Amino acid sequence: MKAFVTGLGWVTSAGMGRGRSGDRFAFGKGELPILSRQRIFADPYPRFGRLDDFSRLGLAGIALALADGGFDHCHDKRNIGLFAATILGSMATDITYFDSLLPERGGLASPNLFAYTLSSTFLGEAAIRFGLSGPGFVANLTGKGELDPFVLGLEGIAFNDCESAVCGFCNTSVPSVDPSNGQPEGALFLVLERSGLAGGHSYGILCRQPDGQIFVDDVPVPDCQKMVEVLQSNLPEHK
């Protein structure tokens, strides 16, 4: 299975960035950056401020990847799939919501929190915002397959579910729970296309071999750090 990589965006504790903006990807340590609407979207988007932290992180990662690939200004419906993976998902919001049920026998339960107790809510937000009509789902990671989210996107294209796909991971920590099996907090998303942008530049071809190994062009990539490093090295300014 293979596809062209045409967009790349991320949010980690080391910062947020896009592949073509000269930003360097790293997981880093510490807290994630504060995500304001102004840092992600140029035009007003009142709903962004109402999102919970997990959904805001996932939507930001998708938005940055789409912008990097030049897909952020077209709002006509497009058959682009959304595939994400997470370890703890929206658990932090789930806990906060259930805490709001305890007083007054649920009389103080927050409808806004309830709307974000699904790990897939941010995919719906992205689909509405960017006119994406392809399939979408969030899968649970075990922490063992760091590149598994990107295989989901390759499968979506290979099985003709969509012509293009936005795929990646979104992880936030939950203080009362074992962080995330060693996976750092953050979001990283790629835009994959069956064929490269007409007249544009692709980062290269992401490929999953029959034995399960992941390659960028002819370079094996064992993890996200190496994958992004190789993808960005294919940009003309790095040649």
Where in the chain are the domains?
A: 2-238
Pairing type for strands 80-86 and 164-171 reads: parallel
| Cβ-Cβ contacts under 8 Å for 236 (sequence gap 6 or more) | 201
Q: For 2-238, give the CATH class.
A: alpha beta
pLDDT in tens, 122-158: 999 999 999 999 999 999 877 667 899 999 999 999 9
Q: Where are the beta strands (DSSP E) in 46-135?
A: 80-86
Of the candidates 125, 122, 120, the one whose C-alpha atom is nearest the C-alpha of residue 138 is 120
pLDDT in tens, 204-215: 999 999 998 999
- Rounded distance, CA 64 to CA 62, Å? 6
Mean pLDDT estimate for the chain: 87
pLDDT in tens, 178-197: 655 566 789 999 999 997 65
**pTM of the complete model:** 0.92
Location of structure tokens 């299975």: 1
pLDDT in tens, 56-110: 999 999 999 999 998 887 667 889 999 999 988 888 888 888 888 777 666 667 7
Name the band, by pLDDT with cuts 50, 70 and 90, for residue 198.
very low
